[in-house]
């Protein structure tokens, strides 16, 4: 087999310049491999009026320049366990397919009349064969036609950069390119508009930016599940 062109070029270079050549090549490779920008994080904290942490709040970051990477969508899952949606709140990027498995002994009929997605899964048990694709941003409220108290929320984000707060009221949106972002928060009990929570943060100046919101929460409005005692009289 004849030597390759690279092998022939390498053989043509004398030993000392060959070392210089190698160092230069490595340096070039190192420069090329270095990320164009260091990734940054937005660390969000959401509390209520009393300073208590707020769980299940969705924090969304939208680049001011509108440039957002395309993230491949993986199926998300909203389960039904003990006649409740689990998780009660899920955040997904627009275009995400969601599967609605039913792990209860009783069949469910899941529906939504929300503008962001109207759909109905006719009465079923087990796992629907096809997921539902959530193709418009917004909040989708889920219900079950059999169990009126069941309620779930799907936050469909137009941005791939979002996170949901945990029990400690904290959420981190990691791996963001260093630029300006408009961040906002949504919660199912939020009193006021989501847009009113908008803040601008600059990840070009700091690798980690903390942002905090104090939300006024309304009582949750859902159909009551607790038993109601009824007493029978006699005549």
Partner 1 sequence: MLVAPVARADTFAGASGGFVYDDNLTRAQRDADIRADTAATVAASGGWFFVPTGQDGVSLSLHAEGQAYARFHGLDTIAAGAGARWRHKFGVGRDVPWIALALDVSHGAWRDDIRDGNRLDAKLEMGKRFGPTFDASLGVTLDRRTADHDRPVVPGISGKVFDLAGHSAFARAAWDVTPDLQVAARADVRRGDVVSTTRINLEIFEASDAIAADPAFGPDFFAYRLRGTTKTATLNLSYALGERASLNLTYADARTSAYDGLDYRNRATTLALAWSF
Interface positions with partner 1 (CB under 8 A): 83, 104-107, 109, 111, 113, 120-130, 143, 145-146, 148, 219-231, 233, 235
Nearer Cβ to partner 1, position 121 or 201? 121
Q: Least distance (Å) from partner 1 to the CB of residue 189? A: 10
34 vs 50, beta carbon nearer partner 1: 50
Neighbours of 225 (CB within 10 A): 11
Residue that is written with structure tokens 């006021």 in the block: 192
Q: Closest approach of Cβ 119 to partner 1, in Å?
A: 11
Secondary structure (DSSP) of 44-84? EEEEETTS-B--S-EEEEEETT----------EE-EEETTE
In angstroms, what is the minimal distance from the CB of 234 to partner 1?
8
Query: What φ, ψ does residue 2 adopt, rounded to 5°?
Result: -70, 150
At 39, give phi and psi (nearest 5°). -70, 150
* Smaller CB separation from partner 1, 54 or 173: 54
Q: Please, which residue, 4 or 231, has the CB nearer to partner 1?
A: 231
| Shortest CB 220 distance to partner 1, Å | 6
Residue that is written with structure tokens 């707020």 in the block: 54
Q: Cα separation of 98 and 146, whole Å?
A: 21
User: Measured from the CB of residue 199, what is the shortest distance to partner 1 in angstroms?
Assistant: 30
* Pairing label, strands 180-186, 96-99: unpaired
**Closer by beta carbon to partner 1, 17 or else 126:** 126
């Amino acid at each position: 087999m004849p030597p390759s062109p690279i092998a022939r070029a390498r053989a043509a270079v004398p030993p000392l310049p060959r070392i210089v050549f190698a160092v230069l090549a490595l340096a070039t490779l190192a420069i090329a491999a270095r990320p164009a920008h260091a990734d940054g994080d937005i660390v969000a904290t959401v509390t209520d009026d009393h300073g208590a942490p707020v769980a299940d709040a969705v924090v969304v970051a939208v680049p001011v320049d509108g440039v957002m990477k395309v993230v491949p969508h993986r199926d998300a899952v909203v389960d039904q366990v003990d006649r409740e949606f689990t998780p009660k709140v899920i955040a997904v990027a627009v275009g995400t397919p969601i599967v609605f498995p039913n792990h209860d002994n009783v069949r469910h009929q899941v529906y939504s009349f929300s503008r962001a997605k109207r759909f109905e899964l006719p009465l079923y048990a087990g796992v629907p064969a096809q997921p539902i694709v959530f193709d418009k941003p917004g909040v989708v409220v889920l219900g079950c036609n059999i169990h009126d108290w069941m309620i779930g929320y799907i936050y469909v984000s137009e941005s791939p950069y979002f996170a949901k707060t945990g029990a400690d009221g904290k959420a981190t949106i990691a791996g963001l390119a260093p630029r300006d972002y408009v961040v906002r928060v949504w919660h199912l009990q939020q009193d006021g508009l989501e847009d009113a929570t908008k803040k601008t943060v600059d990840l070009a100046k700091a690798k980690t930016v903390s942002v905090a919101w104090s939300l006024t929460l309304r009582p949750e409005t859902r159909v009551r599940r607790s038993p109601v005692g009824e007493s029978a009289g006699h005549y």
